[in-house]
Amino acid sequence: MIANRMKDYVKGSSVIRAMFEEGKIMAEKYGKENVYDFSLGNPNVQAPCEVNNAIKEIVEEENSVFLHGYMNNSGYEDVRKTIADSINKKFDTSFNETNIVMTVGAAGGLNVVLKTLLDPMDEVIVFAPYFGEYRSYVSNYDGKIVEVEPDLLTFQLNLADFEAKITNKTKAVIINNPNNPTGVIYSEETIKALSDILNKKSKELGIDIYLIADEPYRELAYDGEEVVYLTKYYDNTIVGYSYSKSLSLPGERIGYLVLPDELSDSDDIKAAANVATRILGFVNAPSLMQRVIAKCIDAKVNVEVYDKNRKLLYDSLVSYGFTCVKPQGAFYLFMKTPCEEMEFVNEAKKHHILLVPGSSFGCKGYVRIAYCVSYETIEGSLNGFMELAKKYGLS
The yes or no reply on residue 56 touching its own copies (CB under 8 A) is: yes
CB atoms within 10 A of CB 92: 9
Cα–Cα distance between 69 and 65 in angstroms, integer? 5
Query: For its own copies, which is the closer residue by CB, 278 or 349?
Result: 278
Using CB under 8 A as the binding rule, the residues of this chain from 263 to 292 that contact its own copies are 264-265, 268-269, 271-272, 275-276, 278-289
Smallest distance, its own copies to C-beta of residue 140, A: 7
Sign of the four-CA dihedral 113, 117, 123, 125 = negative
Omega cis (within 30) before 178 = yes
User: Which of 27, 50, 59, 145 forms a contact with its own copies (CB under 8 A)?
Assistant: 59
Among 100-108, 157-165, 218-226, 385-393, which window interacts with its own copies (CB under 8 A)?
100-108
The yes or no reply on residue 245 touching its own copies (CB under 8 A) is: no
Smallest distance, its own copies to C-beta of residue 229, A: 23
Among 109-117, 197-205, 332-340, 380-388, which window interacts with its own copies (CB under 8 A)?
109-117
The yes or no reply on residue 5 touching its own copies (CB under 8 A) is: yes
User: Which of 181, 250, 327, 329 forms a contact with its own copies (CB under 8 A)?
Assistant: 250
The yes or no reply on residue 10 touching its own copies (CB under 8 A) is: yes
Closest CA to 177 of 109, 131, 136, 141: 131
CB 101 within 8 A of CB 239: no
Using CB under 8 A as the binding rule, the residues of this chain from 72 to 91 that contact its own copies are 72-73
Smallest distance, its own copies to C-beta of residue 319, A: 30
Smallest distance, its own copies to C-beta of residue 169, A: 13
Cα–Cα distance between 14 and 61 in angstroms, integer? 41
List of residues 6+ apart from 275 with CB closer than 8 A: 73
Among 192-200, 243-251, 331-339, 345-353, which window interacts with its own copies (CB under 8 A)?
243-251
Query: For its own copies, which is the closer residue by CB, 136 or 187?
Result: 136
Smallest distance, its own copies to C-beta of residue 94, A: 24
Using CB under 8 A as the binding rule, the residues of this chain from 165 to 224 that contact its own copies are 208
User: Which of 30, 33, 46, 189 forms a contact with its own copies (CB under 8 A)?
Assistant: 46
Smallest distance, its own copies to C-beta of residue 313, A: 19
Query: For its own copies, which is the closer residue by CB, 107 or 386?
Result: 107
CB 155 within 8 A of CB 179: yes
Q: What is the dihedral of CA 333, 20, 343, 5, to 10 degrees?
A: -110
- Residue 9 host element (H or E): helix 4-11
Query: For its own copies, which is the closer residue by CB, 146 or 394?
Result: 146
CB 117 within 8 A of CB 125: no
CA distances from 36 to 24, 100, 268, 321, 332 (A): 11, 39, 48, 20, 14
The yes or no reply on residue 32 touching its own copies (CB under 8 A) is: no
The rounded radius of gyration (Å) of the Cα atoms in the chain is 21
